[in-house]
């Protein structure tokens, strides 16, 4: 299949003019009361209408099987659990899962345009594990991710880049070159970095499915808990922009 793991690192950012004139006439008093009531009702209706116009932010998850929910029931996947955690924390957000199992950075780049037709406020980008598993040249992975980040910057979309680490069996030289991609690109494009998506889950049998690479429901819980503060920071960045 398609995912990598390695040694984790600790995650490193009204106004109304009220004119009232009391009259001795009961009829006029009742009329005044009726008009005032209607005025207040109209104000309440307008406020409700304005509130309904405040649509939730849109967060697109753009990645591979780790975020697609490979091997899990829908409710146990990363996307629904992240959305639930965000809402529980008081954030009105709509999470759109545009992740595809098996995607490499090249495949992600090829489908980026149609995946972003929703014009999201923010993107959580998690790609590269399959590149490493297939032994692709780190330079190509770097180039593909750079182009994705370039396009997202052109769309004025805030990004949280989730890093991946090369499998230990790829060797030290390959690992060093691959693992440096994410901090380098985060610095170059001035985006937030979550260094290792599988932090706290990789190489933990009780948190992974039988293949040893994809998180189970408990593993997803760990990922969501760890990455949640970074996603909240991302959404707050969209508030300020």
* Token pair for 111: 């489908």
Active-site annotation holder among 65, 98, 99, 101 = 65
Alpha-carbon distance 92 to 232, whole Å? 11
Alpha-carbon distance 22 to 29, whole Å? 7
Contact between 181 and 223 under an 8 Å Cβ cutoff? The reply is: no
Active-site annotation holder among 139, 211, 218, 241 = 211
Residue found by looking up tokens 């594990």 in the block: 129
Please confirm, yes or no, whether 214 is among the known catalytic residues.
yes
Contact between 181 and 128 under an 8 Å Cβ cutoff? The reply is: yes
Active-site annotation holder among 64, 103, 192, 214 = 214
Please confirm, yes or no, whether 16 is among the known catalytic residues.
no
Please confirm, yes or no, whether 65 is among the known catalytic residues.
yes
* Residues designated catalytic: 65, 211, 214
């Amino acid at each position: 299949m398609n995912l990598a793991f390695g040694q984790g690192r600790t995650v490193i950012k009204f106004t109304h003019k009220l004119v009232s004139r009391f009259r001795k006439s009961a009829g006029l008093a009742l009329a005044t009361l009726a008009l005032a009531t209607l005025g207040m009702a109209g104000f309440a209706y307008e406020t409700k209408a304005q509130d309904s116009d405040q649509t939730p932010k849109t967060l697109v998850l753009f990645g591979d099987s780790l975020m697609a929910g490979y091997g899990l029931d829908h409710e146990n996947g990363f996307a629904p659990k992240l959305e639930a955690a965000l809402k529980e924390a008081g954030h009105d957000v709509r999470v759109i899962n545009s992740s595809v199992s098996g995607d490499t950075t090249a495949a992600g780049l090829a489908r980026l345009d149609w995946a972003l037709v929703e014009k999201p406020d923010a993107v959580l980008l998690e790609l590269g594990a399959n590149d490493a598993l297939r032994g692709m040249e780190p330079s190509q992975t770097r180039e593909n991710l750079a182009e994705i980040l370039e396009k997202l910057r052109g769309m004025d979309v805030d990004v949280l880049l989730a890093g991946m680490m090369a499998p230990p069996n790829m060797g030290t030289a390959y690992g060093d070159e691959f693992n440096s991609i994410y901090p380098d690109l985060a610095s170059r494009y001035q985006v937030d970095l979550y260094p290792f998506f599988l932090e706290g889950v990789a190489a933990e049998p009780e948190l992974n499915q039988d293949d040893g690479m994809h998180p189970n429901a408990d593993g997803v819980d760990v990922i969501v808990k760890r990455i949640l503060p970074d996603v909240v920071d991302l959404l707050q960045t969209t508030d300020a922009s």
